Amino acid sequence: MKYMLLMQGPLGEYKKNVESWSPDVLKDHMQFMHELNEDLTRSGEFVDGQGLAAPETARIVQAQKDGSVAITDGPFAEAKEFLAGYWILDCESEERAMAIAARASSAPGPGGGPVCMPIEVRRVMSVTGDDM
């Protein structure tokens, strides 16, 4: 079964973290993510995964009933968190997807301790909808 793991970050802390983390802290954090992806590739569970650009680059595009298109700039004041990145995994169970999410959540931050970022786990539906 395929699962999507969504890495969420607190919107208010994003800029503070990017500006305050030393290059070594960022390097350690990214190395952890790289090693996680390598492990998932070796196990055959990695399908895709990417970090996303800063929330200020986000846009919502919505068709309007009159045929026009509305585009809203981000970040969005009503949002408490933003999507920082994602993984698409092919796991044999939801429990395995949860274990991988827990590992991703423990990525290091300042002082080497885990940042404990929330990771949303969602099962990916098949085209046929048999798994709804």
pTM, entire model: 0.82
- What residues contact 118, with CB distance under 8 A and at least 6 apart? 8, 81, 105
Q: What is the pLDDT of residue 121?
A: 96
CATH fold of the domain at 2-123: Alpha-Beta Plaits (3.30.70)
**Which regions of 39-80 does DSSP assign to beta strands (E)?**
46-51, 59-63, 69-73
Which pair of tokens denotes residue 67? 């045929």
Tell me which amino acid residue 53 is. A
Comparing CA positions, the residue from 90, 93, 61, 92 lying closest to residue 74 is 61
Tell me: the pLDDT tens digits for 60-117?
Answer: 888 999 999 988 876 555 566 788 899 999 999 999 999 999 999 999 988 999 988 8
Tell me: the pLDDT tens digits for 23-55?
Answer: 999 899 999 999 999 999 999 999 999 988 877
Q: How far apart are CA 66 and CA 68, in angstroms?
A: 6
Comparing CA positions, the residue from 34, 15, 11 lying closest to residue 108 is 34
Instruction: Specify which residues 46 forms β-bridges with.
Output: 89
CA dihedral 10, 98, 32, 110 (to 10 degrees): 40
Give CB contacts under 8 A, 24+ apart, made by 127-132.
131/1
Is the pLDDT at 13 greater than 90? The verdict is no
